[in-house]
Structure 1
Amino acid sequence: VIVKELERIKTAFTTPWGTYVYVKMPFGLMNAGATFQRAMDVAFSSYINDFIDVYQDDVTVFSEKRSDHLQHLEKMLLRCREYGISLNPKKCHFGVQKEKLLGHIVSKEGVMIDLER
């Protein structure tokens, strides 16, 4: 999320090497989490609860059939491109049957607490 130019001064901080301002919203700012969530909700609004769930920077694509899943992934990736959302390939897991998510194990059987957590 880009910080408006007139608002950047509010993010200023000083180090021994100079004074800096944020150009993009850091997570530590008050209301940053809610602002980021709203931005993600807007980006994926037409897909949320249909085949996408979003919590902050965790985007989950779910599908009943593998053929549908490929189409859903394509729509999600196109939406990321459209809204300038970057993905970290090291954190992406595609086509999995079971996954740890926000302290839970999610699979076709349902949602269970991750006991390793």
Structure 2
Amino acid sequence: MTIKNKYPLPRIDDLFDQLKGAKYFSKIDLRSFTITQDREEDIHKTAFVTGYGRYEFTVMPFGLTNAPAYFMNLMNKIFMDELDKHVIVFIDDILVYSKTIEEHEEHLRKVLEKLRSHQLYAKFSKCEFWLERISYPGHIITTKG
């Protein structure tokens, strides 16, 4: 039996209040759950059988009921110092926002260093940097709101 993780996922509209005054935006899209290692004692729970044998995931697969909540909790812990200041995180999408070019350079550096130190990797083809207008899960964000 799976016990549901009750970690709250934020309402994305509520996250945008903090963007007032921001002029520069960058979006980092992570390779998400499949980069998160499963705990050794939980690997057997992901087993499946095919005509070619029995297999187990060693990383968190898509579709696990607690995957989004687990990943959101992980991201909030990693970016605790940056949240509500210059970073918004929605599961595997990171939005870095700043009022000046100089701030944005520093904010991006901090975020990228944290990603590297936690061995989290971006899908570069889905990332966007140094923009004044950007899309972020279902919304268009500009310097005007």
| TM-score (structure 1 length as normaliser) | 0.90
The residue number in structure 2 matching 1:39 is: 74
Deviation at 1:90, TM superposition (A): 0.4
The residue number in structure 2 matching 1:103 is: 138
1:26 to 39, 61, 76: 61
3-state SS of paired residue (1:94): strand
Q: How does 1:50-89 map to 2 (within 5 A)?
A: 50-89=85-124
The residue number in structure 2 matching 1:92 is: 127
Higher relative contact order, structure no. (Cα contacts within 8 Å, ≥ 6 residues apart) = 2
Aligned-pair Cα RMSD in Å: 0.8
Deviation at 1:27, TM superposition (A): 2.5
Tell me the matched-pair count: 110
Q: How does 1:1-20 map to 2 (within 5 A)?
A: 1-20=36-55
Runs of 4+ in 1 over 4 A off after TM superposition: none
C-alpha distance in 2, partners of 1:64/1:16?
A: 56
C-alpha distance in 2, partners of 1:18/1:93?
A: 41
3-state SS of paired residue (1:59): strand
Report the AA paired with residue 30 of structure 1.
Answer: T
Unaligned runs of 5+ in 1: 111-117
Higher mean C-alpha displacement, 88-97 vs 13-22: 13-22
